[in-house]
Amino acid sequence: MISHSDINGRVASFNKIVVLTGAGISAESGVPVFRGPDGLWNGRRVEEVATHEAVCRDPWGVNNFFNEMRRFAQTVKPNPAHIALEKLEKHYQNDLLVVTQNIDHLHKHAGNQNLLAMHGELQSILCNHCGGRFPFFEDVTKETLCLSCQKPGVLRPDIVFFNEMPYHMDEIYAALMSCDLFIAVGTSGFVYPAAGFVDIASRAGAYTIEVNLAETERSPIFQEKITGPAGKILPLLVNELIETRATVA
């Protein structure tokens, strides 16, 4: 069983939920963490592969790195934490929004539709020439044409690199300010602006829950902390949310 400090009795007021997910949820599916505090993925530092300077200095080295990641991502599958969030969306429908810092496809493959990938997606590509972006599942080479402008050699990963503005921020802020439950799952609390989402939700009056393997720098901000694997905790928490809401209704 999981231990809650005060969730029972509060669930009746949880009508709009925002869930923020980080690398910890995908790690349970076997996705290595490369954007964590150590900044390593297969021995590569983020400065080498995930900055504007890196893509300007060595665009094909960066593309080859993300080609490798894209191929690897196609071998992993959603775990019980992803599946639990899809179950929660079926129950809450448009009143649940999942915001992910992850660039993998696991939430989509689990079935989540109300999903914002704030750091971009591995299975998408961005054109440096025309700004077009489109779904992409293969390796990028120097010969790969942009589907919008038809130019070769101008594509880069559709990933938000360090010091670039995350996607969908207006939608995310609006959801945070209108939700009454905010859950952060498997996120380190190091990367802003996501690390500040709990502050926005708290100021808007939302109840806040952190699910993580260990405490983070942001843990003291949350009203409730649940320590353990997301794949074990989220199915229990989701069932409790659904059952309590049904009882109240």
How would you classify the pairing of strands 224-227 and 44-45? Answer: unpaired
Is the CB of residue 39 less than 8 Å from the CB of residue 198? no
Assess whether pLDDT exceeds 70 at residue 151.
Answer: yes
Closest CA to 23 of 4, 38, 5: 38
Lowest model confidence (mean pLDDT) among 47-51, 84-88, 153-157: 47-51
Residue ranges matching CATH 3.30.1600.10 in the chain: 33-75+122-159
Fold (CATH) for 1-31+78-119+166-249: Rossmann fold (3.40.50)
Average pLDDT, whole number, for the chain?
89
Residue 105 known to be catalytic: no
Residues ≥6 apart with Cβ < 8 Å to 137? 70, 74, 123
Closest CA to 226 of 18, 1, 17, 4: 4
| Alpha-carbon distance values, 93 to 86, 170, 237 (Å) | 10, 20, 17
Residue ranges matching CATH 3.40.50.1220 in the chain: 1-31+78-119+166-249
Residue 98, both tokens: 């999942």
Closest CA to 214 of 238, 235, 230, 193: 230
What is the predicted pLDDT for the residue at 9? 46
Q: What is the DSSP letter of 209?
A: E
81 versus 34: the higher-pLDDT residue is 81
Which whole number is the average pLDDT over 201-206?
Answer: 96
> What pLDDT, in 10s, does the model give residues 52-86?
888 888 989 999 999 998 999 899 999 999 999 99
What is the C-alpha to C-alpha distance for residues 16 and 18, in angstroms, rounded to an integer?
A: 7
Fold (CATH) for 33-75+122-159: SIR2/SIRT2 'Small Domain' (3.30.1600)
Catalytic site residue from 4, 52, 119, 129: 119
Taking the model in full, what pTM does it have? 0.90
